[in-house]
């Protein structure tokens, strides 16, 4: 027969649900790893927070930016012809060609400065043999300097021809044109023209009433421009001026013996 309250044979009361959790926390202790200790916190976080690794990552980032700005972007812009920024469109190819033309023009202006400077005068003086200096000799020397400057500065080559009192038939029209205008006569072939047909620049320079020089520059790869048109006239005029100055110097330093009268000479003789 069942007894009263709390009999030994009675059914036990169900345990509280919080009791196992409390006991589990007490058993695990405060040093047990929590669920937040994942691979990210255990592996990646120590690598990122390390001072040494921060320096390495910062250096790699700067290196990436440098490669992007100075290697990748310039290569990508090589074939860029135009780009649009908002409603403004820029022509890259035209700007690049304008800058290149400005550089060429500046270099040719420096060449003209050389021709009118002291160095060209010294080259002219070096062509004097005895008391005689020849226009053609000076012209060949300075044209060789111009040819070297064009080859080294502009990667442009040309051949030189000089004719004295002679006009070849193939240059007759251009020589006549140069004689009439007083400047060089230019002829550049079209891009679709024969590749073995040269571009030409011809200049007619009168030396006297009946003598003249014909200077011809020819090139298969280089086109002559309006700036080149003034190089040959300037060169010839500078040579003429320098030769006149040198001849005056020679006369001043070596006076003619006929101009001196001996003080012992007989006036009646």
CATH number at residue 207: 3.30.450
Per-residue tokens: 135: 């226009």
pLDDT, average across residues 140-153: 88
Torsion of CA 121, 126, 128, 131, to 10 degrees: 90
**What's the domain count of the chain?**
1
Ramachandran angles phi, psi of 83, nearest 5°: -140, 160
Let me know if residue 96 belongs to a domain. no
Let me know if residue 93 belongs to a domain. no
- Domain encompassing residue 198: 108-253
Let me know if residue 36 belongs to a domain. no
Tens of pLDDT, residues 63-93: 888 777 666 656 655 555 665 656 665 555 5
Contact 214/163 with Cβ under 8 angstroms? yes
Let me know if residue 155 belongs to a domain. yes
pLDDT higher than 60, residue 262: no
Contact 114/120 with Cβ under 8 angstroms? yes
Tens of pLDDT, residues 18-48: 444 444 444 445 554 544 567 777 777 777 7
Query: Which own/partner pairs from 174-180 qualify as long-range (CB within 8 Å, at least 24 positions apart)?
Result: 174/200, 174/202, 175/202, 175/204, 175/214, 176/204, 177/202, 178/202, 178/203, 178/204, 179/204
pLDDT computed for residue 110 by the predictor: 76
Contact 90/80 with Cβ under 8 angstroms? no
Question: What predicted TM-score, i.e. pTM, was given to this entire model?
Answer: 0.57
Which among 5-9, 93-97, 262-266 has the top mean pLDDT?
A: 93-97
With tokens 């009439």, the residue in question is 180
Contact 180/164 with Cβ under 8 angstroms? no
Burial letters for 119-152: b for 16+ Cβ neighbours within 10 Å, e otherwise? ebbebbeebbeeeebebebbbeebbebbbebbee
Let me know if residue 193 belongs to a domain. yes
Sign of the C-alpha dihedral computed for residues 253, 237, 133 and 145 taken in this order: positive
- Among 23-27, 185-189, 216-220, the range scoring the smallest mean pLDDT is 23-27
Let me know if residue 29 belongs to a domain. no
């Amino acid at each position: 027969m069942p007894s009263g309250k709390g009999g030994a044979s009675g059914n036990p009361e169900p345990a509280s649900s919080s009791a196992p959790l409390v006991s589990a926390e007490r058993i695990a202790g405060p040093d047990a790893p929590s669920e937040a200790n994942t691979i990210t916190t255990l592996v990646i976080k120590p690598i990122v927070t390390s001072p040494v690794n921060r320096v390495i990552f910062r250096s790699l980032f700067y290196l990436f930016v440098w490669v992007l700005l100075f290697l990748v972007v310039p290569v990508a812009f090589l074939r860029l012809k135009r780009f649009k920024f908002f409603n403004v469109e820029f022509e890259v190819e035209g700007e690049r060609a304008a800058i290149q033309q400005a550089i060429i023009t500046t270099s040719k202006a420096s060449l003209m400065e050389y021709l009118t400077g002291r160095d060209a005068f010294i080259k002219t003086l070096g062509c004097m043999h005895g008391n005689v200096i020849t226009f053609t000799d000076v012209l060949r020397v300075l044209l060789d300097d111009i040819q070297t400057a064009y080859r080294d500065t502009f990667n442009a080559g040309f051949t030189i021809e000089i004719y004295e009192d002679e006009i070849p038939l193939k240059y007759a029209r251009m020589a006549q044109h140069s004689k009439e205008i007083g400047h060089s006569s230019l002829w550049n072939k079209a891009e679709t023209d024969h590749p073995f047909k040269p571009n030409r620049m011809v200049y007619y320079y009168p030396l006297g009433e009946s003598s003249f020089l014909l200077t011809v520059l020819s090139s298969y790869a280089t086109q002559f421009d309006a700036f080149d048109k003034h190089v040959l006239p300037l060169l010839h005029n500078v040579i003429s001026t320098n030769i006149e100055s040198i001849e005056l110097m020679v006369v001043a330093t070596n006076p003619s013996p006929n101009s001196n009268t001996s003080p012992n000479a007989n006036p009646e003789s």
